[in-house]
Amino acid sequence: MTNQDLLAVAREFGSPVYVYDAEKIAFQYNRLKNAFSEIKDLRIHYAVKALSNISILKYLNSLGSGMDTVSIQEVRLALEAGVAPKDIIYTPNGVSLEEIEQVVRLGVQINIDNLSILEQFGAKHPEVPVCIRINPHILAGGNSKISVGHVDSKFGISIHQMPLLLRIVENTGMTINGIHMHTGSDILDIEVFLRASEILFDSAKNFKNLEFLDFGSGFKVPYRENDIETDIEELGEKLTQRFENFCEEYGRELTLVFEPGKFLVSEAGKFLAKVNVIKQTTSTVFAGVDSGFNHLIRPMFYGSHHDIKNISNPDGKFRFYSVVGYICETDTFANNRRIAEITEGDILAFSNAGAYSFSMASNFNSRYRPTEVLWYNGKAHLIRERETFEDLLRHQKIVDLEAPAIKATK
Ligand SMILES: Cc1ncc(COP(=O)(O)O)c(C=O)c1O
């Protein structure tokens, strides 16, 4: 997508607007597949939470991707997009036994991450094969909010609880058909990944009926020019070797599963917002845009970096701007960034806006959630309309209320 394409999208659909490049999604999907091309049975399950627009799910499914889901609603979206139940895995955390049972009835593979539910589920449904999410006790991930495999994390069953886990499996007679881990997002060092994989292999040896090993995700994508990213090709080479050795030892070919979110969609997304106001204070020049952390929360929530370009004046002289939103709290997208000179009305393009961007958007300050557009075969396709005032009121009930009479006091 060129700057001209993006400007045309902003003109046609207004701002703010999310734009996703289908070609980039396909490129990333194939890159991952190629890195593991030696694996006989590789399954890529796209992590729906990253970007759950149904057209994106349909597109990924057309590339051959299955889906990784964390709620029954994500499962239903994947089914609605035409994904076969067998190609969906459900990895919830802290959900009720009832929800898990409903998902089983939809024919989807379940992944259980705590002993209490495992025991209850196994006692009631010993005939349903279950995947186990282990916690390998590895501290990995770009920041504390996205590090989920460490000892204090609420995710997964501790590897130190393996004897208890095995006792539950034996007592209930249930079948464990998969072992899963996901240690965090934005993992830089493939050695960390490989170390966690060794723990997964070790755990897997305890189960006789495995069909797959799910290595989760956490691949780091670049956020700036020349930024470091997970070396997927090197990981492919090293993990393939170890996986093959494990299968040989185990005595059977297993399926290798990944469930990437960011890797597939982060760089494919741009977020376009219009500059409403330039405000010069004694120390800072603010560029205030027609959006805020209600639409893109990652900078405020994770301190994440999104490159910002002025696509209306890309060749302008570079100046320093703090790019801020219109929300009634500190709402900073970027502090003192070098951006080509901005005039009110210009369109700014935020990079890495494909993952955890629209999917974390809200109506805070009673703003509408933005439009989403898929750039596919050289053309813009509307995949979600901007919300309207009616959407804000939908599901709200107006009750007849009378203010209580207030007695006058002296
Ligand atoms: C269980 C699980 N799998 C996969 C993912 C996707 O991770 P990423 O977007 O870093 O690829 C997540 C992210 O939160 C997750 O919790």
**Residue 302 among known ligand-binding residues:** yes
Do 107 and 181 reside in the same domain of the chain? Answer: yes
Contact 375, 1 (CB under 8 A): yes
Tokens representing residue 24 in the block: 């980039």
Q: What mean pLDDT is predicted for residues 29-58?
A: 98
CA distance 239 to 194: 7
- Out of 203, 236, 264, a domain closes at 264
Q: Tell me what pLDDT residue 155 has.
A: 86
- In the prediction, which pLDDT does 143 show? 60
- Among 6-20, 177-191, 372-386, the least confident range: 177-191
Q: What is the pLDDT of residues 156-175, one digit of tens each?
A: 999 999 999 999 999 999 99
Quick one: 156 and 132 in the same domain? yes
Length of the chain: 410
pLDDT digits (tens, 9 = 90+) for 294-328: 999 999 999 999 999 999 999 999 999 999 999 99
276 and 254 both lie in a single domain: no
More confident residue, 85 or 152: 85
Q: Answer yes or no: is pLDDT of 231 > 80.
A: yes
Is the pLDDT reported for residue 99 higher than 90? Answer: yes
pLDDT at residue 139 in the model = 66
**Same domain assignment for residues 211 and 354:** no
Q: What is the mean pLDDT of residues 337-343?
A: 98
**For residue 405, what pLDDT band results from cuts at 50, 70 and 90?**
confident
Q: Do 131 and 180 contact (CB within 8 A), yes or no?
A: yes
- Under a CB-based contact definition with an 8 Å cutoff, are residues 89 and 257 in contact? yes
Is the CB of 111 inside a 6 Å radius of any atom of ligand 1?
Answer: no
Distance CA 78, CA 232 (A): 26
Please tell me whether residues 276 and 194 are part of one structural domain: no
What CATH number is associated with residue 326? Answer: 2.40.37.10
> Measuring CA to CA, how many Å separate 37 from each of 30, 124, 187, 195, 214?
10, 40, 22, 22, 16
Q: Is the CB of 47 under 6 A from ligand 1?
A: yes
pLDDT tens digits, 55-84: 999 999 999 999 999 999 999 999 999 999
Secondary element (H or E) of residue 301? helix 298-302
197 within some domain:
yes
Q: Is 298 annotated as a binding residue?
A: yes
pLDDT at 152: 73
Number of domains in the chain: 2
Query: Which of 217, 230, 304 best tests ligand 1's pocket when mutated (most atoms within 8 Å of CB)?
Result: 217
β-strand partners of 376:
379
Q: Which of 28, 44, 49, 229 to mutate to test the pocket of ligand 1 (most atoms within 8 A of CB)?
A: 49
Res. 183 pLDDT band, cuts 50 70 90: confident
Shared-domain flag, residues 185 and 300: no
Distance between Cα 106 and ligand 1 center (Å): 22
Same domain, 284 and 313: yes
Cα separation of 267 and 272, whole Å? 14
DSSP 262-274: HHHHTTTEEEEEE
12 in any annotated domain:
no
Using a 6 Å cutoff on CB, does residue 217 contact ligand 1? yes
Q: What's residue 39's pLDDT?
A: 97
Identify the pLDDT of residue 148. 60
Residue 101 domain flag:
yes
Instruction: Write down the mean pLDDT value for the chain.
Output: 95
Contact 58, 259 (CB under 8 A): no
For residue 16, tell me if it sits in a domain.
Answer: no
Q: Percentage of residues in the chain with pLDDT exceeding 90?
A: 88
153 against 25, higher pLDDT: 25
Find the CATH number of the domain harbouring 207: 3.20.20.10
Residue 395, domain member (yes or no): no
Nearest CA to ligand 1 atom 9: 261
Q: Are residues 253 and 189 in the same domain?
A: yes
| pLDDT band with cut points at 50, 70 and 90 for residue 406 | confident
Pocket lining: 50 vs ligand 1, CB cutoff 6 Å: yes
Give the model's pLDDT for residue 172.
Answer: 97
Last residue of a domain, one of 264, 297, 313: 264
Regarding whether 234 and 91 lie in a shared domain, the answer is yes
- Please report whether residue 82 resides in a domain: yes
Tell me, in angstroms, the distance from the centre of ligand 1 to residue 4's CA.
33
CA distance 358 to 300: 15
Q: Is 92 in the same domain as 176?
A: yes
Q: Does the residue 160 lie in any domain?
A: yes
260 lines ligand 1 (CB under 6 A): yes
With the most atoms of ligand 1 within 8 angstroms of its CB, the residue from 44, 93, 259 to mutate is 259
pLDDT in tens, 244-256: 999 999 999 999 9
pLDDT at 214 over 60: yes
Interval 347-383: pLDDT, tens: 999 999 999 999 999 999 999 999 999 999 999 999 9
68 lines ligand 1 (CB under 6 A): yes
Do 244 and 273 fall within a single domain?
Answer: no
Q: How far is the CA of 188 from the centre of ligand 1 (A)?
A: 15
Task: Name the residue with higher pLDDT: 409 or 35.
Answer: 35
Whether residues 216 and 246 fall in one domain: yes
The catalytic residue among 2, 37, 328, 397 is 328
**pLDDT grade for 403, boundaries at 50, 70 and 90:** confident
Task: Please indicate whether residue 328 is annotated as part of the active site.
Answer: yes
The single-letter code of the amino acid at 17 is V
pLDDT tens, residue by residue, 132-151: 999 988 866 556 665 666 66
CB 354 near ligand 1, within 6 Å: no
CA distances from 282 to 272, 286, 357 (A): 28, 11, 32
pLDDT of res. 67 = 98
164: containing domain: 22-264
Assign residue 321 a region: left if phi > 0, alpha if psi is -120 to 50, beta otherwise?
Answer: beta
User: 384 alpha carbon to ligand 1 midpoint, in Å?
Assistant: 24
Q: Is residue 10 domain-resident?
A: no
Write the CA distances from 44 to 20, 34, 47, 200, 237, integer angstroms: 20, 12, 9, 18, 17
Lowest mean pLDDT among 177-186, 213-222, 260-269, 394-403: 177-186
Is residue 270 a contact partner of residue 6, using CB atoms and an 8 Å limit? yes
pLDDT value for 189: 82
Q: Tell me how far the alpha carbon of residue 75 lies from the centroid of ligand 1, in angstroms.
A: 15
pLDDT of residue 22: 98
Of the three residues 234, 264, 294, the one that is the final residue of a domain is: 264
Closest CA to 73 of 106, 44, 34, 42: 106
